[in-house]
Amino acid sequence: MPKAKSPRNGSRKTSEMSIVTPISAENPSSAKGNGQATDLETEIRGRAYELYLQRGCEPGHEVEDWFEAERQVMARLQQIA
């Protein structure tokens, strides 16, 4: 798998690559600037990471993990409300 280049040294390890965070149609306010949305994003990000760990740190499922985490967190929040 090719490694992404960084402006500093021209190469970067795959493990250092950042994960893109999608914004769902159900929660367009998850963009930065809204403190509550940032907390929600942090919670989803943490759950997505847990799913990644449960999969054995297998790369290539970042978006799938994110959407599953988002679904789980939103379902939990709807039960509370």
pLDDT band at 3 (very low <50, low <70, confident <90, very high): low
Answer for the pair 44, 62: CB distance below 8 angstroms, yes or no.
no
Rounded CA-CA distance 20/47 in Å is 15
Mean pLDDT of 59-80: 96
Q: How many folded domains does the chain comprise?
A: 1
Domain that holds residue 73: 30-80
14 located within any domain: no
56 located within any domain: yes
pLDDT at 16 > cutoff 60: no
54 located within any domain: yes
11 located within any domain: no
17 located within any domain: no
42 located within any domain: yes
43 located within any domain: yes
pLDDT at 19 > cutoff 90: no
Write down the pLDDT at residue 28. Answer: 45
pTM: 0.56
